[in-house]
Amino acid sequence: MKKLINNPENAVVEELQGVAAAHPDLVKVHFNPNFVVRADAPVKGKVGILSGGGSGHEPMHGGFVGMGMLDAACPGAVFTSPTPDQMLEATKAIDAGAGVLHIVKNYTGDIMNFEMAADLARGEGIQVESVVIDDDVAVKDSLYTAGRRGVGSTVLAEKVCGAAAEQGLSLAQVADVCKKVKDWGRSMGMALTSCTVPHVGKPTFDLPENEMEIGIGIHGEPGRVRMELKSADEIVEMLMEPIISDIPYKAGDEVLMFVNGMGGTPLLELYIVYRKAYEIATKHGLKVVRNMVGPYITSLEMAGTSITMLKMDDQLTKLWDAPVKTPALRWGV
């Protein structure tokens, strides 16, 4: 295992110490229990937005804490759900009386712990709404999931819900924005290589030199099929077809196209992926009105990509364009 770490057991805490040292103007890091929180939380009058999940997907979620996006993020151990006490303390830290939205990715551990935290927070008089993102069209049930997994749409939901909260929308209204992203976003990913969880010390799975896995999950969970390595264009076709046929989109629809890197794939390749994904979307009559290309929801050093398409309307486009100031995503300020 070749990694820039010290003791594998301390990797997440040392990463959080690095985040705290790098971004004191944007975030504070709370330890025991661990969460990353906006430096100015709780923000008066504003709905709080909380997400979280296993570490190893950076910059998601901690890199998205700041003005116009998340108020807090709870990092678990690598590829392991955070605990209810993290979520409860973070919820309390960001509630300003307007309630808190939990954006949850559909994994059994995350669901269970966020539900428990929401119940505990409600017991303390905090309004909590939860929306579960389950946008991965690759498989129905999976290693850690009943139903579809939650992947790339989560990043988009965090951005637009953060903007909605910033603009003073109510908890119910912000939750409605999140449900729209849940309903209108679809994703699918693939891997060229495995990744290695630090405290495990060996690759999560074996993938022979000439093979790839289509439909893989962000923790290396099995996808749809393993097959011989294909060209980028053929791979993008295999990812785009299930996404486009699932919604279904109709000609003239506006979409946001998000080409994500899994961690170990160079940007040069992601733009080759974008080129073909854009071509396919356009051929279907879709209008790509916004996009994002880069590693935003990763699987440690896994080589591979995922594509997320989100149907857009005027509300989502305006929320997407609104100012954001976080360690990993920033514009307008």
- Closest distance of CB 173 from a copy of itself, Å: 28
Closest to a copy of itself by CB, 23 or 148: 23
Closest to a copy of itself by CB, 4 or 251: 4
Catalytic residue, chosen from 23, 30, 57, 102, is 57
Q: d(Cα 78, Cα 55) in Å, to the nearest integer?
A: 4
Applying CB under 8 A, which residues contact a copy of itself?
Answer: 2-6, 11-12, 14-19, 21-22, 55-56, 58-59, 63, 78, 192-193, 209, 212, 229, 231-233, 235, 263-275, 278-279, 291, 293-295, 298, 300-301, 303-305, 325, 327-328, 330-333
- Closest distance of CB 230 from a copy of itself, Å: 10
Closest to a copy of itself by CB, 47 or 235: 235
**Residue carrying the six token digits 């996808």:** 223
**Cβ-proximal residues to 139 (8 Å cutoff; 6+ apart), any chain:** 148, 149, 215, 217, 222, 223, 224
Closest to a copy of itself by CB, 131 or 307: 307
Q: d(Cα 81, Cα 328) in Å, to the nearest integer?
A: 22
DSSP structure string for 52-112: EEEESSTTTTGGGBSBTSBSEEEEEEETSPPPHHHHHHHHHHH--SS-EEEEEES-HHHHH
Catalytic residue, chosen from 23, 30, 61, 219, is 219
Q: d(Cα 22, Cα 15) in Å, to the nearest integer?
A: 10
Q: d(Cα 219, Cα 216) in Å, to the nearest integer?
A: 8
- Closest distance of CB 294 from a copy of itself, Å: 8
Closest CA to 73 of 56, 84, 86: 86
Q: Is 57 a catalytic residue?
A: yes
**Distance from the first to the final alpha carbon of the chain:** 40
Q: Is 30 a catalytic residue?
A: no
Residue 130 pairs in a beta bridge with 102
- Closest distance of CB 109 from a copy of itself, Å: 19
- Closest distance of CB 210 from a copy of itself, Å: 8
Closest to a copy of itself by CB, 21 or 251: 21
**Cβ-proximal residues to 7 (8 Å cutoff; 6+ apart), any chain:** none
Which amino acids are annotated catalytic? 57, 219
